[in-house]
Copies of this chain bind each other. A is one copy, B any other.
Amino acid sequence: MRNPKSVVLVSGGMDSVVALHHSHKEQEVVAALSFHYGSRHNDREIPFAQWHADRLGVPHLTIPLAFIGEQFQSDLLAGSGEIPKGHYEEETMKKTVVPFRNGILLAVAAGLAESRGAASVCIAAHAGDHAIYPDCREEFMRSMGDAIRLGTYAGVEILRPFIAMSKADIARHGHDLGVDFSRTWSCYVGGEVHCGECGTCVERREAFLLAEIPDPTQYLSTGPLPPKPAAC
């Protein structure tokens, strides 16, 4: 590759932390980039993003996007309604949408990549991403990739190394890379420990089970996992 420098989006969740370790092995990561956009679980997950970046010797940056919490409406944001439990489903999970979140995060990452001489922005999008979020869909990602490539001098590319993988595949890959998953955060509720019941907790628990690797997470509740709805 001509210019292997990359900016990696790292929320502190398990997928993006694996993406950071994966990218660090393959490229020079000029920044591990977290966003504090006012969501309840940001305070839990960003310190983990920082921890992994420090461990790998990668500069970590947190971009404050407080205006999203102040000006945008979403139940994912601090102080708004209750987070729905169980699997992602159209009606309940629409409430957790931060409008055009991936568009905003990728645009900021692209600007930073351009300003730091990086050729790419890496995002841990994967095959299990939810089609109910329009800014997770393939056609959005393709257009956003075009916009970023065409809108930067360097022709910055979006990299999605996990796009053909499931969350369980990513967990297995992270396990092989030696990722300490106890230092990652998924729960949207944002309590002291993972709730074990919200959409992201359910998916986290399933990923470890399907990957057949130990789950080091402390959950408030480890009741039976809900059956997966046909729509997902």
Contact = CB atoms under 8 A, between A and B. Distances in A.
Interface in A86-129: 94, 97-104, 106-108, 110-112, 114-115
A2 B33 CA distance: 39
Contact of A151 (B64, B67, B103, B114): B103
Interface stretch (A136-144, A182-190, A203-211, A212-220): A136-144
A50 to B, nearest CB: 16
Contact of A111 (B63, B104, B106, B146): B104
Interface stretch (A16-24, A71-79, A170-178, A224-232): A71-79
A148 B99 CA distance: 11
A125 to B, nearest CB: 13
A120 to B, nearest CB: 14
A150 B151 CA distance: 18
A83 interface: no
A112 B72 contact: yes
Interface string A140-163: 100110111011110010000000
A68 interface: yes
Contact of A147 (B108, B114, B147): B147
A221 to B, nearest CB: 31
Interface of A: 61, 63-64, 66-68, 71-74, 94, 97-104, 106-108, 110-112, 114-115, 134-135, 137, 139-140, 143-144, 146-148, 150-153, 156
